[in-house]
Structure 1
Amino acid sequence: MTASAAASVKSSPLGLTVLTLLHHRPLHPYGIQQLLKQWGKEQVVNVGQRAGLYRTIERLEAGGLIAVRQTERDQQYPERTVYEVTDEGREVTREWLEQMLAVPKAEFPVFPAALSNMLMLSPDEVAPILERRATRLAAQRADLERQSAEAPAGLPRITLIENEYLLTVLDAEERWLRGVISDLRDGSLTWSREMLAAFEEGAAGSGGEEA
């Protein structure tokens, strides 16, 4: 497989994780999915849809990053194609990992987008909606804390480092969210259509004077 073919494979969290798992041993897609869940990787990569995993495997194979090792045949199961990482795949895994660790990516999660349009609702409408989010965040945090507490004694910290990061992010968002809800409740964060319209008129007037 040419270097250009490998370069055409777009990096992704799921692609990186599949390559990493195949560094340990050859696996078939079902084995990859089971190992992802067993290792708790569903917290950081989207493995909810098996079709997404198969598409990722197809792209990695087309780019020469993984190759078919063998086909397993068992009367109890359909044929299973076992994949292994190639030498090119090993190089690309390291490149992707270094890039993802070192370079913050301009991602566009849905929550900031929703926040930027929150003025479409009234403060009284927003407060209970954000309270629902805060409750869900608390539940997610409790679930991650439980997973960490149930980890075998002596487990190396590196094996749960993503949980540590997620807990830190969840805790920070929850604390920020509680502060915003408090500001909404006491009126220190407020808006209205009239207020926003007046601001727009003022901004337009200032622009006209400068022109």
Structure 2
Amino acid sequence: MVTMLHRRSTLALAVLSLLAEAEYLHQGSMHPYRMQRLLRDRGKDEVVNVGQRGSLYRTIDRLHRTGLIEARESGRDGNRPEHTPYSLSDEGRRVWREWMLDALATPTREYPEFPAAIAFIPLLDPDEVLGRLLERRRKLTDEVARIQSLMAESAEWGRLFALEMEYLNATTEAELHWVRSVIDDLESGAISWTPEQLAALASRHPQ
């Protein structure tokens, strides 16, 4: 049963995971600047929305206020919060494990914008939709190439450390395959609509 008191986010999970790593490696604690650097240097910002430095600090502040992490001896240089080291609390250690296991086991609905837009494409002109999907196909093709390049660069670390990139590659390729199929049907006329057809359909199914 996942604790509802503590709000989970990918960035919060990443922070707790880095502190769990510091504990695992007997380093004890880690300061925010190092967290942000590690997330970017390891390419974890591909799957974690690190955003600006303020996003990380707000997440750390929330985790601290809710008792999941603890501030250790001050390592600040003047008034620089990025040098304050943090470590997991007992509750943080428990919640981190709970979040990890639940995230691995439980699919979630994330409600991205793309399927929401797809749900309302009959309100647009078919040629306009086709043009935008052709643009999306091009961008997805470029993204697959970029991801596969990153995977090749990290191949020396072994599959264990590239699993998240494998997942991104699989999901991006799946979306690309689907977008191509919709484009094919739009171009062939298998998917088509006109305002008159939509009005007739609406008249048969009044709300």
Shift of 1:71: 2.0
The aligned counterpart of 1:199 is: 201
- Give the whole-Å Cα distance in 1 for the aligned partners of 2:199 and 2:48: 42
Equivalent residue for 2:8, pick from 7, 11, 20: 11
Matched, 1:112 2:109: no
Identity of aligned residues (%): 42
Shift of 1:59: 1.2
The equivalences for 1:157-196 within 5 A come to 157-196=159-198
Indicate how the Cα distance of structure 1 residues 152 and 200 shifts in structure 2: closer, same or farther if over 3 A, else same. Answer: closer
Shift of 1:168: 0.5
- Give the whole-Å Cα distance in 1 for the aligned partners of 2:178 and 2:109: 21
TM, length-normalised to structure 1: 0.88
- Which has the larger share of strand? 1
- Give the whole-Å Cα distance in 1 for the aligned partners of 2:70 and 2:158: 31
Pick the structure with greater CA Rg.
Answer: 1
- Give the whole-Å Cα distance in 1 for the aligned partners of 2:91 and 2:17: 13
Over the aligned positions, Cα root-mean-square deviation in angstroms equals 1.8
- Give the whole-Å Cα distance in 2 for the aligned partners of 1:117 and 1:178: 19
TM, length-normalised to structure 2: 0.89
**Unaligned regions of 5+ residues in structure 1, if any?**
1-5
The equivalences for 1:41-60 within 5 A come to 41-60=44-63
Q: Kindly provide the amino acid, as one letter, of the partner of residue 169 in structure 2.
A: L
**Unaligned regions of 5+ residues in structure 2, if any?**
23-28
Shift of 1:136: 1.1
- Give the whole-Å Cα distance in 1 for the aligned partners of 2:182 and 2:36: 39
- Alignment check: 8 A CA contact 2:76 2:84 kept: no
- Alignment check: 8 A CA contact 2:155 2:162 kept: no
SS in 1 for 2:85: strand
Q: Following superposition, which runs of at least 4 residues in structure 1 exceed 3 angstroms of deviation?
A: none
Indicate how the Cα distance of structure 1 residues 7 and 183 shifts in structure 2: closer, same or farther if over 3 A, else same. Answer: closer
- Alignment check: 8 A CA contact 2:140 2:172 kept: yes
Q: Kindly provide the amino acid, as one letter, of the partner of residue 95 in structure 2.
A: V
- Alignment check: 8 A CA contact 2:67 2:91 kept: yes
The equivalences for 1:10-49 within 5 A come to 10-25=7-22, 26-49=29-52
Matched, 1:131 2:120: no
Shift of 1:7: 5.1
- Give the whole-Å Cα distance in 2 for the aligned partners of 1:74 and 1:194: 69
Aligned length: 198
- Alignment check: 8 A CA contact 1:28 1:81 kept: yes
- Give the whole-Å Cα distance in 1 for the aligned partners of 2:130 and 2:20: 47
Deviation string, structure 1 residues 66-121 (Cα, Å, up to 9, x no partner)? 1101222448x945211111121111111011111111112211111111111121
